[in-house]
Amino acid sequence: MNINYKHLSFTFCILSFALVCSIAHATALDPTRVGIGARSIALGRTSAAFDGDISALFVNPANAADLPGLGFDSMYTNLSEDINYSFIGVARPYDLGTFGLAYLGAGSSGFQATTIESGRVVGTGQSFDYTSSVLNFIYGKNIRPDLAVGANLKMFNKGFGWVSNSSGAGYDLDLGLIWRPKKELTVGLAQQNTLPASIARIKWGTGLEEGIPFNTKLGLTYLPRENILLAADLDYSANSPLALHGGVEWQVLKWLAIRAGLDQQATSASAAITNYCAGVGFNYQDMHFDYAYYYDTILAETNSAHYFSLAYLFCEPAPLPKPVPVPEASPTPEAMPQLKLKSFSDVPWGYWAKGPIEELAGLNIITGYPNGTFKPDKTITRAELTTLLVKLKLGDLKLTGISLFQDVNPGYWAAPYIDKAVEYEWVTGYPDNTFQARKNVSRAEGISIMARFDNIQEALVEEQPFSDVRFDFWAAGYISAAEQAGLLDYLKGRLFEPGKPLTRAEVAEMLYHTKFVKARLGKR
């Protein structure tokens, strides 16, 4: 593995320096430490290494670098019927990196003013409120395929209603780092409230100036299986023992995830307690609803809390390439396109489809996302695959104002491509005259479409191409022909799993072995 240790060392040195600078002073509380996102809370308040998670980028800004598209996030909780927290955030990837803006507000009312009567403390009958808020400006960017950095400028505002000179305002900075040594492993490091108190502090109307305590988070996420995620964070703060957080997420179904976690919390300079967390996540298309229950072991009845998050993440299809004319004949070496590999932050060394992805991307046959990722394991919809293939051969098509299918709006971006693919008989609709454009393409559907796209004739199935593909399976002819044509080499010796959703990496691998692309690459 080609790790640039100089880069890593430099970044860690910066963080360490900031840490040393910020140790000396600190008293004001950063309300973002309550945790952002019900998913993170359910996983034991882990979030340092949630690469591309819309909630986690407000804890470790480097998580923003891999955000796949425009995302909105929100959270609400009421802690012990004493204080309400509301959070709302938005982030979007651009060519320069991902930018985000977020607001966290907390409020509590019913603080009783008091006096002394007959030697006894009594209420005056007057009460006042408390508010605390943080405005976050976030930036994250991949500086290498396996390395991302980020920063989060935080503006604090606090105050008590009707109490004179009781407002305070200030700012501080979070720095973050994400390192992806393997596809299954992500390591995150976040230094929250990095700036020394001599620079960044909260200034109160009373004249008091308070530093904001730093907190260092070191975290990792690991995917032992496709649908299992393990997460762990280690927190270090001055005057506190190390606090460990951990959680596990099981993606039971595509739309359902179950989570559980443990959250250690310091209770003094030398002691900590462990609290329990659990939650569920529901996905519907681009919408995500997460719920977490936080069980407090000190005061379970009072301090246990519910967290609710609603997020919307526009997983925009990756920008499609402009068509490149297909060479009429095999190009001479001089006429061959200059092969320039294009790497992606989430396609690490050793990834099984790294070669095809980078070669096809280098020729602009496929593209990644603006934030430098390819999302190789992301599934692909019928509309996306159809549009990709039609564009490769025909280029951009304009909307025609008509659609062959009742569930495809004529104004839908993929409508002309779907109609053209149907016209070429690469793909068909369903008997009820629907196309189900947002439906994920299965392996069987994908290889059938790809075979028709590449003029591969349906084969007579004399022997099972894969042990799990029966002779009479509707796509057996295409699977067999595509297997003989080499499009399915990556599955040699394995099951075909015809119903499994096709991934973007598989599309690249299949495309790479088509006659069409081979011609473009100058290969036979």
Q: Is 475 exposed, middle or buried (0-12, 13-18, 19+ CB in 10 A)?
A: buried
Answer for which of 36, 42, 65, 106 binds other proteins (CB under 8 A) is 106
Q: Are 174 and 139 in contact (CB under 8 A)?
A: no
Pick out residues in 462-521 that bind other proteins (CB under 8 A): none
Q: How far is the CB of 122 from other proteins (least distance, A)?
A: 5
List the interface residues with other proteins, window 343-402 (CB under 8 A).
Answer: none
Q: Which of 8, 14, 70, 83 binds other proteins (CB under 8 A)?
A: 83
Q: Find all residues with CB under 8 Å of 353, minimum gap 6, and list them.
A: 347, 376, 490, 505, 506, 508, 509
Could you tell me what percentage of the chain is helix, strand and coil, using 3-state DSSP and rounding each to the nearest 5? 20, 35, 40
What x/- string results for residues 404 through 433 when contact with other proteins is judged by CB under 8 A?
------------------------------
**Under DSSP, is residue 283 helix (H, G, I), strand (E, B) or coil?**
strand
What burial letters (b/e) apply to 94-110, b meaning 16+ CB within 10 Å? eeebbbbebebbbebee
Applying CB under 8 A, which part among 10-18, 204-212, 316-324, 469-477 lies near other proteins? Answer: 204-212
Of 60-68, 117-125, 386-394, 463-471, the segment contacting other proteins by CB under 8 A is 117-125
Question: Crossing angle of helices 415-423/382-394, nearest 10°?
Answer: 70
Q: Is 27 in the site for other proteins (CB under 8 A)?
A: yes
What is the C-alpha separation between 183 and 509, in angstroms, rounded?
Answer: 18
Letter for the amino acid at 445? E
Contacts with other proteins, 246-285, as mask; x by CB under 8 A: -------------------xxxxx---x------------
* Stretch touching other proteins by CB under 8 A, among 93-101, 155-163, 394-402, 506-514: 155-163
β-partners of residue 105 are 86, 133
Nearest residue (CB) to other proteins, 101 versus 300: 300
Binding mask 213-242 for other proteins (x = CB under 8 A): --------------------------xx--
| Shortest reach from residue 346's CB to other proteins, in Å | 33
Quick one: DSSP state of residue 67? -
CA angle 277, 279, 280 (to 5 degrees): 165
Q: Does position 130 bind other proteins by CB under 8 A?
A: yes
Binding residues for other proteins, rule: CB under 8 A, are: 26-29, 31, 33-34, 79-80, 82-83, 106, 108, 110-125, 128, 130, 132, 158, 160, 163, 166, 168, 202, 204, 206, 208, 210, 239-240, 265-269, 273, 296, 298-303, 305
